Amino acid sequence: MATIRDVAKLSGVSVATISRVINKNGYVTPETEIKVINAINQLNYSPNAVARGLARKKTNTIALVLPDITNPFFSELARAVEDAAKHYGYTLNLCNSDNEESKEKAYFDILKDRYVDGIIIASDTSAYRRHYLKNSKIPLVTIDQTPRNESSVIVTSKNIKGAKLAVRHLFEIGCKKIAHIYGPLEYKPSLDRLRGYEQAVKSQEWYSSSLTVQGNFKIESGIEAVKTLLERHPDIDGIFAGNDLMAIGALKGLLKMGKKVPEDVAICGFDNINLTEIMEPEITTVAQSIYGMGTLAVELLMKKIGESPVEADDNIHLHELDVTLIQRGSTQRGVKK
Amino acid sequence: MATIRDVAKLSGVSVATISRVINKNGYVTPETEIKVINAINQLNYSPNAVARGLARKKTNTIALVLPDITNPFFSELARAVEDAAKHYGYTLNLCNSDNEESKEKAYFDILKDRYVDGIIIASDTSAYRRHYLKNSKIPLVTIDQTPRNESSVIVTSKNIKGAKLAVRHLFEIGCKKIAHIYGPLEYKPSLDRLRGYEQAVKSQEWYSSSLTVQGNFKIESGIEAVKTLLERHPDIDGIFAGNDLMAIGALKGLLKMGKKVPEDVAICGFDNINLTEIMEPEITTVAQSIYGMGTLAVELLMKKIGESPVEADDNIHLHELDVTLIQRGSTQRGVKK
DNA sequence: ATGAAAGCGCTAACAT
DNA sequence: ATGTTAGCGCTTTCAT
């Protein structure tokens, strides 16, 4: 591989001049620029990114830390982050944490030594992160996290609003008793969706906390949850699940129990991952823009890194994207009950 | 951040000695080693990976180039690759190519400048890749590709065998006319699965090439394909789809057309992605070990990089993993027709 | 067993 | 407008 020195020699100028033309900064006469460019092409030169990283203390790499890329929510997010990163000339380091603090910590240490320019975190082990935040100056953007005192930038969706949309829709199609399956409460969106649900149903005379049951955001837990719920309240006719995977589980569980969806029980999920459309019936859900969250996270990170001009909304630290209800078969009733 | 020089100063030895203890090579007296370790701890020193990369021309980073992380097959593969890479002390660069040669090429150039130590490719634009292979010395492992003359290492599954397993199973449950939906033929596994299908059915008097139709490995194309097939041959009672996503599409399409699965038409897919289990009925499929392929790819790459001892099977360049039939509801018939 | 010093390839003062 | 040179932080010969 040709180095900057080879180019300098061939074009008869100094390395500084080469550096100037490849970085388009400083003054260079058009003539020498042409000479340099010719030499570059002739040698098929392209600057060594590692050397550049060492000199600049900047690698044009960002990292995405998430629990598990295998989860469709996160793979969609990762895709968005990669696309946006590429657009800014950055490369993406993928880090699966399984939500384990030890793995997250190990990654932080490695990433720091590698001069990654920024980190986007969509994983949730907060204890170490807080410590890390104080001891590191790596720009950070966080997805779906609980706001803390530190100046962290957070991207999330309007979860409370979304939950209310879901419940209201279930009411509208005639549901008389609506249950909720919520996700892990350490995870902020779970809590918000639960709150939204509670606010929407608490005035009903039938409301009881036994209408809510916890899942873990996976399909299997939706199956379990629905079993528990129907044992407690056989007359449930609407279920709002805290995410789509649990909604899918709920659907499977109900079908297995011989219930008809949506005739006996209607279901609404949250997220709008692609899977909702492959189920039979297709699942009504509260759509959040996963891709949009990823894109926004990168944009905000780029501002922190200094790639992108900071604007008036500079000091907004909580970015809540809007959500919308997507009506599909799992709540499509011909006749109201 | 403390540097190696700070550690040298504090412990009263030279940087060379520090380097020796952190890399555990060369001679160091136990006493000085202790002094050094103390200094390291005291300063909370950890070596700068970028500087090290420059000096060693090695970054402990590998890249995974795939079409789209959003596809469940590839997200599972990515998870396996990351886990294995981490195990060897490597970090993972994720590159979505959308199977576009231009994107793949752009990534190759970037990766080369970044001193990535190796690349795993599960994306399929072969023209540039061939050129690249000749001009670069970056170790490469390829997933599901057509073997070429170059000394490329390839990880794939026994696709022909898998296709035969699928078709044979459909025969066994009583299918009398079996169609096949195949994927893009530039993609080696598609071709092999098509061949396997042909070999398994060509002796049947009903066989005709109009029983095969092309899809693009996505759900939608499965829906389309099944429509075409049933127009041509309304008496089809078994479908072998070239991958699970198209099998899902086929299932959706059939249900939409009022067909019963598996009673009227049985379906078998290929891959065994998780989605096969969330469908109703669950989809019978030929399982390939996606995770295993990812793991193996990394292991082979590590041999090329020199992290791992090369053994007798050193010069095997085609690694075909075994496949197995997973029977599920989409081929579970109570009574044979 | 330890140290000195020359790189690795680039950037960015500073000088001219 | 261009060149000189001192880093960036580490590895690795070569001495001692």
- Give me the CATH number covering residue B9: 1.10.260.40
Question: Based on the domain organization, do A65 and A143 belong to the same domain?
Answer: yes
What does the angle CA A49 – CA A50 – CA A56 come to, to the nearest 5 degrees? 85
User: Between helices B15-23 and B4-11, what is the axis angle to 10°?
Assistant: 110
User: Stretch A205-229: mean pLDDT, rounded?
Assistant: 97
Please give the mean pLDDT across all residues of chain A: 93
Nucleotide nearest to A52 (CA to C1'): C10
Q: What is the pLDDT of residue A124?
A: 76
Q: Which residues contact B324 (CB under 8 A, 6 or more apart)?
A: B165, B286, B287
B70, A76: Cβ pair inside 8 Å?
Answer: yes
Report whether pLDDT(A101) > 50.
Answer: yes
For a pLDDT cut of 70, what percent of chain B falls above it? 95
Domain of A220: which CATH number?
Answer: 3.40.50.2300
Among A31-35, B22-26, B133-137, B182-186, which is the least confidently predicted range? B133-137
Residue range A231-286, pLDDT digits in tens: 999 999 999 999 999 999 999 999 999 999 999 999 999 999 999 999 989 999 99
Report yes or no: B257 at the A interface, CB cutoff 8 Å: no
pLDDT of residue B336: 42
- Asked if A251 and A240 count as a contact pair (C-beta separation under 8 A), the reply is no
The DSSP secondary structure of A73-131, one letter per residue, reads: HHHHHHHHHHHHHHHTT-EEEEEE-TT-HHHHHHHHHHHHHTT-SEEEE----HHHHHH
- Mutation pick from B1, B3, B50, B64 vs chain A, by most beta carbons of A within 10 Å, is B50
Put simply, the answer to whether A96 touches B76 (Cβ < 8 Å) is no
The answer to whether residues A130 and A192 belong to one domain is: no
**CB atoms near residue A325 (< 10 Å):** 18
The answer on B175 and B133 residing in a single domain is no
Same domain, A68 and A130: yes
DSSP one-letter string for B172-235: HTT-SSEEEEE--TTSHHHHHHHHHHHHHHTTSTT--GGGEEE--SSHHHHHHHHHHHHHH-TT
Confirm whether A188 is domain-assigned: yes
Residues B276 and B163 in one domain: yes
A305 and A216 in a common domain: no
What pLDDT band is residue A134 in, cutting at 50, 70 and 90? low
Of B336 and A129, which is predicted with more confidence? Answer: A129
Question: What does the pLDDT look like over B169-179, one tens digit per residue?
Answer: 999 999 999 99
pLDDT in tens, B244-293: 999 999 999 999 999 999 999 999 999 999 999 999 899 999 999 999 99
Residue B278 has a CB neighbour count (10 Å cut-off) of: 18
Domain match, B188 and B266 both: yes
Q: Output A146 or B81, whichever has higher pLDDT.
A: B81
Tens digits of residue pLDDT in B151-167 = 678 999 999 999 999 99
Chain B CA closest to residue A280: B280
pLDDT confidence tier of residue B134, bands split at 50, 70 and 90: low
Domain enclosing residue A273, as ranges:
159-288+324-331
Both B274 and B216 in one domain: the answer is yes
Angle between the N-to-C axes of helices B244-256 and B219-232, in degrees from 0 to 180, rounded to the nearest 10: 50
Using CA atoms, how far apart are residues B278 and B255, in angstroms rounded to an integer? 16
Contacts of B154 (CB under 8 A, 6+ apart): B141, B142, B143, B144, B145, B147, B317, B318, B319
C1' nearest to CA of A50: which nucleotide?
C9
Q: Is A42 found in the same domain as A122?
A: no
Instruction: Specify if B56 maps to a domain.
Output: no
- Confidence check: pLDDT of A91 > 60: yes
In a domain, A336, yes or no: no
Dihedral through CA B222, CA B227, CA B231, CA B236, nearest 10? 50
Residue with tokens 């620029």: A33
Tell me: do B139 and B150 sit in the same domain. Answer: yes
Which pLDDT belongs to residue A337? Answer: 39
Q: Residue A337 domain-assigned?
A: no
Q: Does B282 touch chain A (CB under 8 A)?
A: no
Span of A93-97, B104-108, B128-132 with lowest mean pLDDT = B128-132
Cβ B179 vs Cβ B233: under 8 Å:
yes
CA distance B265 to B174: 11
What pLDDT is stored for residue A58 in this prediction? Answer: 97
> How many independent structural domains does chain B possess?
3
Considering chain A, what percentage of its residues have pLDDT values greater than 70? 95
Inside any domain, residue A56: no
Q: What would the mean pLDDT of A84-98 be, rounded to a whole number?
A: 97
* Residue B337 pLDDT greater than 70, yes or no: no
Mean pLDDT estimate for chain B: 93
Residues B170, B268 contacting (CB under 8 angstroms): yes
Strand D: protein residues, Cβ closer than 7 A? A 12-17, 20, 26-29, 31-33, 51, 54-55, 57; B 1, 3-5, 15-16, 19-20, 22-23, 25-26, 45, 47-48, 51-52, 54-56
Q: What span, in angstroms and rounded, lies between the C-alpha atoms of B268 and B247?
A: 7
